[in-house]
Structure 1
Amino acid sequence: MSQMLALVIIIFILFIGDFVAVRTKAWVPSIFICAILFLLGYWTFFPTEIVAEAGIPSVVATALMYLLIVNMGTLLSLEELKRQWKTVLIALSGILGAIALLLSIGTLLFGIETVIVAIPPLVGGLVSALIMSEGAAEAGLMSLSVFAVVVYVMQGFLGYPLTSIMLKKEGERLLKLNRSGQLARKETASTVEQPQKTGITFFEKIPEKYNTNYFKFFKLAFVGYLAYLVSTVLEPVVSISPYVLCLVLGVLATHVGFLERNLLEKASGFGFAMLGLMLYILDGLKNATPDMMMDILFILIGCILLGVAGMYIFSLLAGIFLKFSKEMSFAVALTALYGFPADYIITNEVIESLTDDEEEKEVLTSHMLPPMLVGGFVTVTIVSVVLAGVLVGFL
């Protein structure tokens, strides 16, 4: 198969996934459709190395992952996290609940290695799934390498409808309060858009004409290299994943003004970086035989159900303590299953379905959207990457 034909086929599969997700309003996740089509391809006519043949070998995907995780750090608004401290605690409690049930009941049922591989992709996104898939493959655990990908692919199927149900109940409760005059509109704040002033203006003095896309890529790559360098220096003392350090240094570099917010998007590279990572993680399915998929099906369902049950129990307890409604608490915890932009899309779709009045929509948005954005950011962007970086060392 020629390189361009391979590229056309795999990108077309990604498009089909997006098309189905749009038509079903995200009730059918795009990653699920893509995974099914890739599996069918590998079981029929795909070359085993179709992704590499198309021009996305593992070394390219690794470079893109460094850039993406540093970019994640640029999205962190410390001020918004301070304002939403209750949301942060509830999101963390949900993750803690998932970990608690999986490490206890899950270990007894499925074994410790399976649980270690399952936790990060279950409470995170693409990057954490990729870290665990690579780690399992390097440890010679090929079935668990596939398992990490499948967990990431399937988790949204439970997360999307549950979140929608919780948000609809919360929205109906808020509408009743609003119509009785007991609810005021809050100021909305986006975790991914709000600027953060640090008082450090050195980098702001660089003329805009020199702030080219290549310079933006250079800054991202430089911070990624620093993360790799620090990781290798610390290796004799303590093993810290360079991906975790990418996130930490991305936050710090943004705080001092070296990096701009969402820099990869501004450099017109975010779409291609996500394309590369999506293809690379789907490439992990090349080792998934039909027999292997049947073998992990029971484990997959069990791990997802245990994780979600843990999220519900712990987020409910945290919500009671922090005086959050149980519906909103569980919805915030569930953002761990998908993160941004699904949290934004689901919240807005629920609000649109509840009322046609623009003022009521604004009130609902001001109360429901910020917690959902912060929840998804904390779980998927921060905690899951850290967890993956830590847990992969135990394989």
Structure 2
Amino acid sequence: MSQMVALVLVLLILYIGDFVSVRTKAWIPSVFISAMLFLIGFWTFFPQNIVEIAGIPSTVATMVMYLLVVNMGTLLSVKELMAQWKTIVISLSGILGIIVILFAIGSLIFDMNTVIVAIPPLVGGLVSALIMSEGAAQAGLTSLSVFAIVIYVMQGFAGYPLTSIVLKREGKQLLQKYRNGELALKTTTKVEEDPTQAKNGFKLFQVPEKYNTDYFKFLKLAVVGCLAYLTSVFLAPVVEINGLVLCLVFGVIAKSIGFLEQHALYKANGFGFAIMGLMLFIFDGLKSATPNMMLEILTPLIVCIILAVIGMYIFSFIAGKILKVSKNLAFAVSLTALYGFPADYIITNEVIKSLTNDEKEQEALTNHMLPPMLVGGFISVTIVSVILAGIFVGFL
């Protein structure tokens, strides 16, 4: 298959996902439809490396991931991160729910190794899935080695539509309050240039607008991403910190001191391409889920995902009640463990756009719903899942 044919096919799938999402007003998320079509493609006529043929090898995916995560940091302020402590507690509560329910109920249905292998990938990270897969293979558990990868690939099929449903409920309630003047939301996530922004930060980092080209914006994003990576390497002998976690932190800091603009990747005209590249790389993981593998692990796959969702709902509901966070938003934050970034970003924006066409209302909803979704995804997928994998793999 030629590169351009492959590119047209994968982009057609992404567009069909968008089309269905628009037609259904985000009740069926684009990522769900695209994942289904990729799965069908890999089971029929797609070459296993179609995404790489199309021009998105793993190296390109890593590059756009670093740029996107740094850019995410520019959407959050230090004050905002501190304000999201409730989100962190709810996210951790959802993860605790997965662990408790799977050990309490899952271990009665399946052997303990199946439960141990399932939990870290269910918390969301590709790295954790790979750790558990390798650990299971070394322990001679071949089917569980495949199970770890497939459960990571397939869990989004439960997370995508459920998240869309609860976010739409949350958004409708917020929108009604906003229109009635009962809820005042700060609008700090607007993409357009803030005329006061030039006055913020250190003058050392500011250049005349004629020199602030797209390449310069890309350069600054890359510098921040590079610093995050080098810091993670430097700290590796002492403590393992994922470079992407530091990208988020460094992005927040860079925005706070004026080195990066808010939504810098968007302003550099690279945001859409970066999202496309990363989504294609994620869907590329579906090539591992062959029909035979799916049949072999279908029952534990479905049961473990259902139990995980039940555990997240119960524990996030309790945490939300205690912290006075709506049950819909609390459950949505917990569900980010099933997919993480960029799906959390995409689903949230799809839902918001489906609820209102008014820019001010969209901005207000984005400010309330997007930060907790992003923070929740990073807590579970990027941080906790890797820690859990490092602990659980020792039990095999």
TM > 0.5 fold call: yes
Confirm or deny that 1:313 pairs with 2:310: no
Cα deviation digits, residues 331-351 of structure 1 (max 9, x gap): 565566653343354356557
How far apart, in 2, do the equivalents of 1:56 and 1:348 lie?
28
Q: Does 1:249 align with 2:250?
A: yes
**Which residue in the other structure is 2:66 paired with?**
66
Whole-angstrom distance in 2 between the partners of 1:38 and 1:330:
28
AA aligned opposite 2:15: F
Partners of 2:32 and 2:13 in 1: CA distance:
11
1:150 aligned partner: 154
Q: Distance in 2 between matches of 1:289 and 1:267?
A: 39
- Alpha-carbon separation, structure 2, partners of 1:380 and 1:301: 22
Give SS of 1:111's match: helix
Give the secondary-structure state (helix, strand or coil) at the position aligned to 1:339: helix
When structure 1 is superposed on structure 2, of 332-341 and 107-116 the one drifting more is: 332-341
Q: Per-residue displacement from partner, 1:33-54 (whole Å, max 9, x unpaired)? A: 2222222222222222111112
Report the more deviating stretch, 321-330 or 73-82.
321-330
Is 2:187–2:363's contact at 8 Å kept on the other side of the alignment? no
Cα gap change, 1:268 to 1:232, in 2 (>3 Å)? same
Distance 1:192 1:365 in 2: 6
Partner of 1:207: 208
Looking at structure 1, the residues matched to 389 and 223 of structure 2 have their Cα atoms a distance apart, in angstroms, of 25
Decide whether the 8 Å contact of 1:351 with 1:365 is kept in 2: no
Cα–Cα, structure 1 residues 47 and 351, in superposed 2: closer, same or farther, change >3 Å? closer
Displacement after TM superposition at 1:301 (Å): 3.1
Contact 2:74 2:261 in 1 (8 A): yes
Q: Deviations over 1:233-289 (max 9, x none)?
A: 222222222222222222222222222221111111111111111111111111211
Give the superposition deviation at 1:15: 1.1
CA distance in 2, matches of 1:166, 1:207: 42
After TM superposition, the structure 1 = structure 2 runs for residues 131-150 of structure 1, keeping only pairs within 5 Å, are: 131-132=127-128, 135=131, 141-150=145-154
Aligned position for 2:371? 374
How far apart, in 2, do the equivalents of 1:113 and 1:348 lie?
38
Q: Give the 5 Å matches for 1:1-395.
A: 1-81=1-81, 86=86, 89-90=89-90, 93-102=93-102, 105-106=105-106, 109=110, 110-120=114-124, 128=125, 130-132=126-128, 135=131, 141-165=145-169, 170=173, 184-191=182-189, 200-324=201-325, 326=327, 329-330=330-331, 333=334, 339-346=344-351, 349=354, 370-391=367-388, 393-394=390-391, 395=393
Runs of 4+ in 1 over 6 A off after TM superposition: 194-198
The residue aligned with 1:355 is none
Query: 2:226, 2:70 → 1: CA distance?
Result: 10
Provide closer, same or farther for how the CA distance between residues 92 and 193 of structure 1 changes in structure 2, counting only shifts above 3 A.
Answer: farther
What code does the residue aligned with 1:208 have?
E
- Give SS of 1:27's match: coil
- Determine the C-alpha separation between the residues in 2 that align with 1:389 and 1:59: 21
Question: For the residues of structure 1 that align with 2:54 and 2:105, how far apart are their CA atoms?
Answer: 42
Distance 1:192 1:119 in 2: 31
**Distance in 2 (alpha carbons) for counterparts of 1:54 and 1:277:** 13
Gaps of 5+ in 1: 121-127, 353-357
* 1:115 to partner: Cα distance: 0.9
2: distance between equivalents of 1:345 and 1:89? 26
| TM-score (structure 2 length as normaliser) | 0.79
**Cα distance between partner residues in 2 of 1:190 and 1:269:** 21
Alignment-derived partner of residue 142 in structure 2: none
CA distance in 2, matches of 1:103, 1:76: 36
The whole-number CA distance in structure 2 between the counterparts of 1:208 and 1:162 is: 42
* 1:200 positional shift: 3.1
Q: By how many angstroms is 1:174 displaced?
A: 5.7
Q: Secondary structure at the match of 2:70?
A: helix
CA drift at 1:119: 0.7
Alpha-carbon RMSD across the aligned residues, in angstroms, is 3.6
1:172 shift after superposition: 11
What SS does the corresponding residue of 1:340 show, helix, strand or coil?
helix
Aligned mates of 1:82, 1:230 — CA distance in 2: 22
Distance 1:41 1:322, change over 3 A: closer
Q: Does 326-335 or 380-389 show the bigger shift?
A: 326-335
One-letter code of the match for 1:149?
V
Question: Aligned equivalents of 1:52 and 1:172: distance in 2?
Answer: 42
Displacement of 1:152 in angstroms is 2.5
Change (3 A) 1:70 1:104: farther
Per-residue CA shift, 1:357-391, capped at 9, x if unaligned? x9xx97x996x765423321321245532224434
**CA distance in 1: counterparts of 2:266 and 2:310, whole angstroms:** 36
Secondary structure of the equivalent of 1:220? helix
Stretch of structure 1 that moved more, 304-313 or 287-296: 304-313
Larger deviation, residues 211-220 vs 93-102 = 93-102
Q: How far is 1:160 from its partner?
A: 2.2
